[in-house]
């Protein structure tokens, strides 16, 4: 045992315990609660399990309040408008916040379907038909097979369902 220190006895612990308890209780009443803990964040969550590939509709969702700063970041869907009409990319569990990575836009072009391919350069416009080798949403680059020549080409899916090929 070090010189100058004496061991803590049961009597000392018994003497300090009521004072420590009183001090903690006083701090709880005097210190204000943090404002972030008092706020509830309302997020749309699935009412039932949503499986990958299912289109999310309004009746599949319910609003639920969450407390704390875990769900306030940009990683979760915040409004119903931003999720209705999207497709589940992964299984979405009931009463659980929906991660932005768990949903995607519906495919504009489906794999294996004939698609109109457009090449445009100045006033020249050439269109043809190709079979999509991949599904894709507007803005994505996908591969297609030209029906006439059998060549594989790549193009950007347009919002109207066509695919633009060549230089922009």
pTM of the model: 0.60
Domain count, the chain: 2
Q: Are residues 39 and 94 in the same domain?
A: yes
Q: Are residues 126 and 100 in the same domain?
A: no
Domain extent, residue 58, equals 35-104
Q: Which of 75, 104, 133 is the last residue of a domain?
A: 104
Q: Are residues 43 and 100 in the same domain?
A: yes
Q: Which of 57, 73, 104 is the last residue of a domain?
A: 104
Residue found under tokens 């931003």: 82
Q: pLDDT value at position 7?
A: 64
Asked if residue 85 belongs to a domain, the reply is yes
Q: pLDDT value at position 66?
A: 84
Q: Which of 104, 131, 153 is the last residue of a domain?
A: 104
> Phi-psi region for residue 166, left (φ > 0), alpha (ψ -120 to 50) or beta?
left
Asked if residue 53 belongs to a domain, the reply is yes
CATH number at residue 65: 3.90.1210.10
Number of DSSP helices (H) and strands (E) in the chain, helices first = 2, 9
3-class secondary-structure state, position 28: helix
pLDDT along the chain (168 residues), means of 10: 60 58 57 52 92 93 84 81 92 92 92 93 91 93 92 94 86
């Amino acid at each position: 045992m070090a010189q100058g220190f004496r061991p803590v006895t049961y009597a000392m612990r018994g003497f300090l315990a009521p004072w420590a308890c009183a001090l903690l209780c006083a701090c709880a009443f005097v210190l204000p609660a943090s404002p972030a803990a008092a706020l509830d964040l309302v997020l749309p969550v699935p009412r039932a399990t949503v499986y990958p590939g299912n289109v999310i509709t309004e009746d599949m969702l319910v609003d639920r309040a969450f407390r704390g700063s875990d769900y306030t970041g940009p990683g979760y869907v915040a409004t119903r408008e931003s999720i209705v009409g999207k497709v589940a990319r992964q299984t979405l569990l009931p009463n659980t916040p929906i991660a932005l990575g768990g949903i995607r836009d519906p495919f504009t072009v489906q794999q294996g379907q004939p698609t109109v391919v457009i090449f445009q350069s100045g006033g020249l416009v050439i269109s043809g038909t190709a079979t999509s080798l991949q599904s894709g949403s507007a803005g994505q680059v996908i591969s297609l097979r030209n029906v006439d020549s059998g060549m594989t080409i790549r193009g950007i899916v347009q919002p109207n369902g066509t695919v633009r090929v060549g230089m922009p």
